[in-house]
Amino acid sequence: MANTYRVLDKVRLQDEEEFVDILEDKRHCNDLRFAFRTFSPPPYKGAPACSSAELNQAVLESQYLRYVIKEVALETESSVEEVRDKVCRIMREMSQNLQLRFIRLMAFTFRKVFKRLFSAVYVNMEGLQALQQATQEFPVILMPNHRSYIDFLVVSYILFNYDIPVPVIAAGIPLAGMKIVGEILRRSGAFFIRRAIGSDKLYWAVLSEYVRTIVRTGFAPLEFFVEGLRSRTLKSLPPKLGMMNMILEPFFKGEVYDITLLPISISYDRVLEESLLAHELLGVPKPRESTAGLLKASKVLQENYGCIHVNFGRPLSVRQLCEGKINRCQYNLIPRDLPQKPNAEAQACGSWLAHMIVRLQEEGALTSPWSLMACILLQVPTTVLTEEGLLFHQLTEQTLWLRKLALDFRAHLSWPEKVPDSDVMSSTVALHRSVVYRKAGRVYLTRNDELERKHSIVPEDDMMRTAAAFLMLASYRNQCLHVFVRPALLALAMSIRKSTRKDELLTCFCFLQEVFSNEFVFIPGKSSQDFDEACSLLHECKAVHVSQWEVTDSDTGLEVLSFLQELLKPFIESYQLMFRFLCEERDCVFREKDFLSGVRTLATKLIVSGELHTYEALSSDMQKNVLSSLRRLGAVSKIEISENNEYKVNKSAVRRTGDMLAGRIPPQIVQAAPDPRL
């Protein structure tokens, strides 16, 4: 049965773009021969041959760094030589040392690993061909989504496989500390960035000049994760803009004619870190990256993780995208070598591009049968999954109904061709036996006992084991939320407002987008277009009637609207719980860690008593998202002079936000505070 989940050689998107399994013809050929085959990627046309050492030297000798070194020396009352020595130490810690022999070692190792872990690695050939052409014309920036530690390894392996220049990759500094592995990653193209840079002027200067030099010289394609961090919930994160601004600056200053951005969507049937991520969300400390930890994790090689789909998007020209959005003449007023902080116009342009890339990553992602099943399972009462079991044929019928709705909403599905639906469903449940299992025609939740074996967070161990399974289920649901979120927000607005007037629904829709902008990614300034898209999709599936002034539900649309409202119910309930917690607290000043622990304690109590029906309120990511949302709405403010990460809450503003979310008062478009990510 396990083999029925694999499509023989290829799958196709709705638009018939071809995906090919790059492991299929490699399973029976020699791995060593593959690693040592001729690797001769076409060079970037404007780039002279340049080694990593020469790249580092160019950075150290740049006029920009010389200027900053003198500035820092004056500010810190140090000698220029002392500051320069510090710069050299930063460069040694940060820089990559890309070498062909280590690329071959990587290719050999990961080919063996991928063949053990995955049934198939599917790649769209049209996207690869476009990338191969793009690397010869302008500097290329590869921008994959980030769901697993192996994301950048997958991309590098694919590019080596097809004679495309292997990228240099922005990676977190903890990876550099892994014995042997850290050095292998460095020589395979990784350069390492500190997690907390803060106001370290010198480090910012070295990093930005290093990145700009790579872009200016076309040394290699540059790969970075625009979301900044690996998503622990498997849904898109709001983009971080620091690296984006560094990459765009050479274009803004006229140092390169154009830059090519290339979104990459990596979709996993099953994520290697699924259990680890769920337990991190429940407060279990994240294991430190180490070689010993990597060796202990080798047990994953005994598991089957299904398929990976890697969708290389259409190359995007920064020159074309920014036309009319930014006045580059202003950069002629200051010498290029002088430090220049991005102005508001440049920041807004960078933010728009970053959000657009994340949306393109979402649009390029493939939705698996399991992701649709997770949507259905999370709308089933807890006792059904933990005690009674859900009838398998009922789960099948509802998943097939949801498949049709996803296709109506223009989703790309990785549903196997020429395989009976019943076989697809059976093999999907078998693949995800760590989350659910099938017994006597019913589906039950698999409750993990890992917390019990290690240490408990709260006394209610049984509840926490159930919570870990539900958070894994929620993560897989999150993989397809982008398909439904805009129609779901409209369905929710219709439920909250109890109105059919388009203007009132639009106002409520915009309010919901503002509240949940840390949960879901929306392009700034595009709320009206998102609303129109939601209206169009619901109208096309005959769930609503849309006129010039009204949106009304149809006689046949109740099932669709009800499903979409239930899809967002865990978010509504979790946010309302945290609003309640803040309003009931005696003090108006609180520390973040006290908020997180207090909310978790309250949520645990309410789940055990049966008053709260979602386990997602226990997620530390959602708790932090609520704080970010309230800060943006002006209901919570951070005390800047505090060293303990303290906040001050405006309880009346929090209560008002909760009332608007519950429909007790009409929602209003709140004037949000400036985005701190800018």
Q: Locate the domains of the chain by residue range.
A: 47-270+305-364, 369-472, 494-662
Q: Which two tokens stand for residue 411?
A: 């989703």
Q: Residue 562: its pLDDT value, please?
A: 97
Count CB-CB contacts under 10 A for residue 626: 26
Lowest mean pLDDT among 103-112, 206-215, 360-369: 103-112
- Residue 2 to residue 439: CA distance in whole angstroms: 17
On whether the CB atoms of residues 19 and 448 are closer than 8 A, the answer is no
SS3 589: strand
Question: Does the pLDDT at position 398 exceed 70?
Answer: yes
- Residue 484 to residue 486: CA distance in whole angstroms: 6
Residues 6+ apart with CB under 8 A from 347: 241, 245, 678
- Residue 340 to residue 330: CA distance in whole angstroms: 11
Question: Does the pLDDT at position 200 exceed 90?
Answer: no
φ, ψ dihedrals at 525, nearest 5°: 80, 10
Q: Residue 678: its pLDDT value, please?
A: 40
Considering only the C-alpha atoms of the chain, give the largest distance between any 2 of them, rounded to a whole number of Å: 78
Number of Cα atoms under 13 Å in the Cβ half of residue 568: 29
Q: Residue 674: its pLDDT value, please?
A: 46
Q: Residue 90: its pLDDT value, please?
A: 95
- Residue 522 to residue 375: CA distance in whole angstroms: 21
What is the DSSP-derived secondary structure letter of residue 384?
I
Give me Rg for the CA atoms of the chain.
26
Q: Residue 174: its pLDDT value, please?
A: 87
What percent of the chain stands above pLDDT 90?
A: 70
- Residue 651 to residue 655: CA distance in whole angstroms: 6
Q: Which of 251, 259, 46, 262 is nearest to 136 (CA)?
A: 46
SS3 441: coil
On whether the CB atoms of residues 365 and 265 are closer than 8 A, the answer is yes
Q: Residue 293: its pLDDT value, please?
A: 59
Q: Residue 190: its pLDDT value, please?
A: 93
Q: Which two tokens stand for residue 523?
A: 């392009």
On whether the CB atoms of residues 19 and 123 are closer than 8 A, the answer is yes
Q: Which of 503, 560, 556, 509 is nearest to 537 (CA)?
A: 560
Amino acid at 355: H
SS3 310: strand
Amino acid at 495: S
Torsion angle of the four alpha carbons 244, 245, 249, 252, in this order, in degrees rounded to the nearest 10: 100
What is the DSSP-derived secondary structure letter of residue 265?
E
Question: Does the pLDDT at position 324 exceed 90?
Answer: no
Q: H or E element: which one contains 20?
A: strand 18-21
pLDDT in tens, 446-493: 985 544 444 544 445 678 889 999 999 999 999 999 999 999 999 999
Number of Cα atoms under 13 Å in the Cβ half of residue 554: 15
- Residue 631 to residue 670: CA distance in whole angstroms: 12
The CATH class that applies to domain 47-270+305-364 reads alpha beta
CA 72, 75, 76, 78 dihedral sign is: positive
Q: Which of 63, 74, 94, 61 is nearest to 82 (CA)?
A: 74
In angstroms, the Cα distances linking 348 to 35, 141, 262, 474 are: 44, 19, 20, 33
Q: Which of 198, 211, 193, 200 is nearest to 249 (CA)?
A: 211
On whether the CB atoms of residues 545 and 552 are closer than 8 A, the answer is yes
φ, ψ dihedrals at 641, nearest 5°: -80, -5
On whether the CB atoms of residues 574 and 474 are closer than 8 A, the answer is no
Confidence tier at 668 by pLDDT (50, 70, 90): confident
Instruction: Read off the pLDDT of each residue in 253-263 and give the average, rounded to a whole number.
Output: 94
- Residue 507 to residue 502: CA distance in whole angstroms: 9
Q: H or E element: which one contains 45?
A: none
Which residue's structure tokens are 């609520």?
A: 626
Q: Residue 46: its pLDDT value, please?
A: 59
Q: H or E element: which one contains 14?
A: none
Instruction: Read off the pLDDT of each residue in 479-508 and give the average, rounded to a whole number.
Output: 96
Q: Residue 460: its pLDDT value, please?
A: 59
The pLDDT mean for the chain works out to 89
Count CB-CB contacts under 10 A for residue 92: 9
| Higher per-residue confidence, 622 vs 29 | 622
pLDDT in tens, 5-26: 333 334 344 344 689 998 887 6
On whether the CB atoms of residues 554 and 270 are closer than 8 A, the answer is no
Determine the Cα angle at 62 with ends 61 and 66, to 5°: 85
What is the DSSP-derived secondary structure letter of residue 4?
G
- Residue 115 to residue 108: CA distance in whole angstroms: 11
Q: Which two tokens stand for residue 23?
A: 């492991």
Instruction: Read off the pLDDT of each residue in 265-271 and give the average, rounded to a whole number.
Output: 96
Torsion angle of the four alpha carbons 188, 291, 232, 424, in this order, in degrees rounded to the nearest 10: 80
- Residue 65 to residue 43: CA distance in whole angstroms: 28
SS3 665: coil
SS3 351: helix
Confidence tier at 48 by pLDDT (50, 70, 90): low
Q: Residue 671: its pLDDT value, please?
A: 55
Burial of 149: CB neighbours in 10 Å, binned 0-12, 13-18, 19+: middle
- Residue 82 to residue 317: CA distance in whole angstroms: 41
